[in-house]
Amino acid sequence: MTDRTGSLLLLRHGQSVSNAADVFTGWSDVALSGLGEAQAGGAAVVLRSLGIRPTCVHTSLLRRSIATAELLTGALGCSWVPVHRSWRLNERHYGALTGRDKREVAAGTDAAVYRAWHRSFAVAPPPMSAAAAAELYADPRYAGLPAAAQPRTESLADVRARLLPYWSDVLFPQLLAGGTPLVVGHGNTLRALVMYLEDIGPADVEHLDIPTAVPMRYHLDHRGRPATGPGGRYLDPVAAAEPVRIGALAT
Rounded-to-5 percentages of helix, strand, coil across the chain: 45, 15, 40
- Residue 96 has phi, psi (to 5 degrees) of -70, -10
Q: Residue 28, Cβ neighbours under 10 Å: how many?
A: 17
Whether residue 13 lies in the annotated active site: yes
Out of 13, 58, 93, 186, the active site residue is: 13
The 8-class DSSP code of residue 16 comes to B
For 34, 94, 224, the CA distances from 91, given in Å and listed in that order, are 20, 9, 23
Out of 91, 154, 198, 206, the active site residue is: 91
Which amino acid, 153? T
- One-character DSSP codes across 39-105: HHHHHHHHHHHTT---SEEEE-SSHHHHHHHHHHHHHHT-TTS-EEE-GGGSPPP-GGGTT-BHHHH
The span from the CA of 186 to the CA of 190, in Å, is 6
* Alpha-carbon dihedral sign for residues 21, 27, 29, 31: positive
* Alpha-carbon dihedral sign for residues 170, 171, 176, 182: positive
For 111, 116, 139, 210, 251, the CA distances from 204, given in Å and listed in that order, are 19, 13, 36, 14, 10
Task: Tell me how far the alpha carbon of residue 112 is from its chain's centroid.
Answer: 25
Active-site amino acid positions: 13, 91
